[in-house]
Amino acid sequence: MAIQLNQPALRHARALIRQGKVVRDERDDWSEAAPTADEENDFIEREGWTEFSHWHLGVDRRENPETKQAYSFPVGDFRRVHRAGVISAESRAGQYDHYEIRDALKALLRLIDDEDK
Protein backbone atom coordinates (compact mmCIF):
# COMPACT_ATOMS: atom_id res chain seq x y z
CA MET A 1 0.00 0.00 0.00
CA ALA A 2 1.42 3.35 -0.99
CA ILE A 3 -0.08 5.58 1.70
CA GLN A 4 0.97 4.62 5.20
CA LEU A 5 0.26 5.85 8.71
CA ASN A 6 2.67 8.67 9.51
CA GLN A 7 3.75 7.66 13.03
CA PRO A 8 5.55 10.94 13.87
CA ALA A 9 2.39 12.86 12.91
CA LEU A 10 0.29 10.60 15.12
CA ARG A 11 2.61 11.20 18.08
CA HIS A 12 2.54 14.93 17.38
CA ALA A 13 -1.26 15.03 17.26
CA ARG A 14 -1.56 13.04 20.51
CA ALA A 15 0.85 15.38 22.27
CA LEU A 16 -1.03 18.48 21.09
CA ILE A 17 -4.34 17.04 22.25
CA ARG A 18 -2.92 16.20 25.68
CA GLN A 19 -1.58 19.77 25.90
CA GLY A 20 -5.05 21.11 25.19
CA LYS A 21 -4.07 22.46 21.78
CA VAL A 22 -7.28 21.33 20.12
CA VAL A 23 -10.32 22.99 18.58
CA ARG A 24 -13.52 21.14 19.39
CA ASP A 25 -15.37 21.99 16.23
CA GLU A 26 -17.79 19.96 14.13
CA ARG A 27 -17.08 18.14 10.87
CA ASP A 28 -18.58 20.79 8.60
CA ASP A 29 -16.26 23.42 10.12
CA TRP A 30 -13.17 21.83 8.56
CA SER A 31 -13.71 23.41 5.15
CA GLU A 32 -13.28 26.82 6.77
CA ALA A 33 -10.55 25.83 9.22
CA ALA A 34 -8.28 23.82 6.90
CA PRO A 35 -5.14 25.68 5.88
CA THR A 36 -5.18 27.23 2.42
CA ALA A 37 -2.47 26.48 -0.12
CA ASP A 38 -0.87 29.84 0.68
CA GLU A 39 -0.91 29.08 4.41
CA GLU A 40 0.67 25.70 3.72
CA ASN A 41 3.38 27.32 1.60
CA ASP A 42 4.09 29.93 4.27
CA PHE A 43 4.34 27.23 6.93
CA ILE A 44 6.70 25.14 4.80
CA GLU A 45 8.86 28.20 4.14
CA ARG A 46 9.06 29.00 7.88
CA GLU A 47 9.18 25.54 9.45
CA GLY A 48 10.27 23.10 6.73
CA TRP A 49 8.98 19.85 5.32
CA THR A 50 9.44 17.74 8.43
CA GLU A 51 7.21 20.02 10.48
CA PHE A 52 4.69 20.12 7.62
CA SER A 53 4.61 16.31 7.60
CA HIS A 54 3.73 16.26 11.31
CA TRP A 55 0.28 17.66 10.51
CA HIS A 56 -0.67 14.82 8.13
CA LEU A 57 -1.55 11.29 9.24
CA GLY A 58 -0.90 9.84 5.79
CA VAL A 59 2.45 9.63 4.02
CA ASP A 60 3.20 8.22 0.58
CA ARG A 61 6.81 7.07 0.63
CA ARG A 62 6.85 6.77 -3.17
CA GLU A 63 6.56 10.55 -3.44
CA ASN A 64 9.32 13.08 -2.91
CA PRO A 65 9.13 13.99 0.81
CA GLU A 66 9.60 17.64 -0.12
CA THR A 67 6.32 17.83 -2.02
CA LYS A 68 2.77 18.20 -0.78
CA GLN A 69 1.81 15.09 -2.78
CA ALA A 70 3.62 12.98 -0.19
CA TYR A 71 1.20 13.94 2.60
CA SER A 72 -2.48 13.35 3.18
CA PHE A 73 -5.11 13.36 5.91
CA PRO A 74 -4.37 16.72 7.57
CA VAL A 75 -5.69 17.19 11.11
CA GLY A 76 -4.88 20.76 12.09
CA ASP A 77 -4.12 24.35 11.25
CA PHE A 78 -0.38 24.29 12.15
CA ARG A 79 -1.20 25.48 15.67
CA ARG A 80 -3.91 23.16 16.96
CA VAL A 81 -5.54 19.87 16.10
CA HIS A 82 -9.10 20.36 14.86
CA ARG A 83 -11.74 17.83 15.82
CA ALA A 84 -13.37 18.59 12.46
CA GLY A 85 -10.14 17.75 10.63
CA VAL A 86 -9.85 14.44 12.48
CA ILE A 87 -13.46 13.53 11.63
CA SER A 88 -13.04 14.50 7.98
CA ALA A 89 -9.77 12.58 7.65
CA GLU A 90 -11.24 9.52 9.37
CA SER A 91 -14.13 9.46 6.92
CA ARG A 92 -11.84 9.77 3.89
CA ALA A 93 -9.41 7.16 5.20
CA GLY A 94 -12.23 4.67 5.60
CA GLN A 95 -13.68 5.54 2.21
CA TYR A 96 -10.36 4.74 0.52
CA ASP A 97 -9.58 1.62 2.59
CA HIS A 98 -6.71 3.11 4.59
CA TYR A 99 -7.78 1.18 7.69
CA GLU A 100 -4.68 1.74 9.81
CA ILE A 101 -4.96 5.50 9.30
CA ARG A 102 -8.73 5.39 9.89
CA ASP A 103 -8.25 3.52 13.16
CA ALA A 104 -5.55 5.95 14.33
CA LEU A 105 -7.89 8.85 13.59
CA LYS A 106 -10.72 7.16 15.51
CA ALA A 107 -8.37 6.86 18.48
CA LEU A 108 -7.47 10.56 18.19
CA LEU A 109 -11.16 11.46 18.13
CA ARG A 110 -11.73 9.41 21.30
CA LEU A 111 -8.79 11.17 22.93
CA ILE A 112 -10.24 14.57 22.03
CA ASP A 113 -13.68 13.63 23.27
CA ASP A 114 -12.33 12.04 26.46
CA GLU A 115 -10.42 15.23 27.27
CA ASP A 116 -13.83 16.97 27.52
CA LYS A 117 -14.94 14.67 30.34
Tell me which of 103 and 115 has the higher pLDDT: 103
Q: Are strands 22-23 and 71-74 parallel, antiparallel or unpaired?
A: unpaired
Residue 101 CB partners (closer than 8 Å, separation 6+): 3, 4, 5, 57, 58, 73, 89, 93
The mean per-residue pLDDT over the stretch 75-103 comes to 97
* Per-residue pLDDT tens over the stretch 28-60: 899 999 999 999 999 999 999 999 999 999 999
Is the pLDDT assigned to residue 1 strictly greater than 60? no
